[in-house]
Structures are given as C-alpha cells and as structure tokens.
Amino acid sequence: MSGGQPSRGQPLTALTRFVRPAAKQAPVEKCEMCSQELAPGHSHIVNLETRSLMCACRACYLLFMQPGAAQGKYKAVPDRYLRLQSTEFTPERWETLQVPVGMAFFFFNSALGRVSGFYPSPAGATESLLSLDSWREISTADPVIETMEADVEALLVRRGRDASFECFLVPIDVCYELTGIVRRRWRGFDGGEEARRDIDAFFDALREKSCPAGAA
C-alpha cells in the first residue's frame, strides 16, 4: 500500500508465531502392567499365550523373574549376552535351513514343545524349516546352547561375507530389534547400503556387549 501505511496482512503475519501449533512430543512409553512411565532401555516381558513382547518397569520385571508367576502366562526376558566360540554351522547346513538372508535366530517355543527358527525379513520375522536332527547337531556342538531359557532367550547366528559364522546367545527381544531394523531399512534384493550399515552397527554393539561363553 502506498504512503508508507502498513498493509492489512502485516498484523496477521506478526501473530502467526503465537498461533502455530506446538511441536509434538514423542509419546512416553509406559509399563504395560502398571502404567508407570518407562526410561529408555527398559526391560521386557513375554506373554506366552500371544507370543508378544510387553514393555515393563523394573518392579514388574522382577516380579515375573520368579518361576510360575501369573500361572506361567508371563515370563521376564533375561539380560544374558554370550558370544559362542564353536558351533556346527557350516555353509552346507545353512542351506538346509532354507534361510535366504545371512541371519537367523532359534529359540525353544514351549507352546509347541520344539525349537523354532526365524530369519529377519522385510515382512518381519519369517519362520524357516528346522528339523529335530539339525537342531540336535547344532545344540550339542556347544553345551551353552542347551542352557538357553525357553521362550525368552535365543541363539542368534550371522553368516559373514566370507562364509564364516558368528553365534550369540541373547535375550529374545534383541532378535526382534534386529528384525525391526531389517523391516525398516531393507531395500531391493540385497538390502541396500543403509540396511547393511545399520545391521553392521547392530552387530558391532552386540559384540561389545557380549562376553565369551566360556568366561560367563
């Protein structure tokens, strides 16, 4: 507008900083047992009926560490991280497990009464075929594997680019954390650079956190 008079739009422009919506805060995670707010890195409980992970505060987590708590419906996920020194994994055995990617995890499913094998995929955790004979050969290669706690601990295996194998005994929620990385990041046939970088970082952190099984 001429004559140095302010335009009609200027007062509204000046007010916009007061009427803009506030930035959304990230939702606060709460214990799924008692609704207490949770800190990052909190513990988990497995619902054995639904096979689902539940976030838990420390008090609820310790409650379900007790054998038979809640008539065995819930079970606390332990925090044992072991790096195994010797296993029976070979490229030939890996092929028989029909795992199309270089990672898989195995745990004893008490509802089914057997060990189940899964591999992370863009669709989530996908089950692979695992015969009783194959698992017997794998588990007897290292006595630590037979101490794996049903439903809440898993044997996590990664095949390297040089056909070597790394094996870890880990809490089951770690396996689903890895599955989440693959599901979010995987692109195309080989996963893509971003997925490979995040997976490598995941295993770097896992090696640092794990102690040799013989020293545990």
Segment 62-75 shows an average pLDDT of 83
Rounded CA-CA distance 49/31 in Å is 19
The residue written with tokens 């619902």 in the block is 47
pLDDT at residue 51 in the model: 85
The maximal CA–CA distance of the chain, rounded, in angstroms, is: 92
Q: Report the C-alpha gap between 107 and 117 in whole angstroms.
A: 7
The whole model's pTM is what?
0.81
Q: What is the pLDDT of residue 26?
A: 63
SS3 sequence, 44-70? Answer: EEEECCCCEEEEECHHHHHHCCCCCHH
Mean pLDDT of the chain: 84
Q: What is the pLDDT of residues 87-105, one digit of tens each?
A: 678 888 888 787 888 999 9
Of 128, 142, 62, 124, nearest to 99 by C-alpha is: 128
Query: What pLDDT is stored for residue 215 in this prediction?
Result: 55
Is residue 204 helix, strand or coil? helix
Q: Given this model, what pLDDT does residue 1 score? A: 47
Please, which pLDDT band fits residue 6 given cuts at 50, 70 and 90? very low
Q: What is the pLDDT of residues 153-182, one digit of tens each?
A: 999 999 988 888 999 999 999 999 999 999
User: Edge-to-edge strands of the sheet including 153-159?
Assistant: 124-128, 114-121, 103-109, 153-159, 165-171, 82-83, 211-212
Higher-pLDDT residue of 11 and 31 is 31
Backbone phi and psi for residue 57, each to the nearest 5 degrees, phi listed first: -75, 170
Say what the pLDDT of residue 86 is.
65
- What pLDDT sits at residue 15? 44
Q: Which of 8-17, 50-59, 106-115, 189-198 has the lowest mean pLDDT?
A: 8-17
Q: In this structure, is the dihedral angle defined by the CA atoms of residues 185, 187, 192 and 193, taken in order, positive or negative?
A: negative
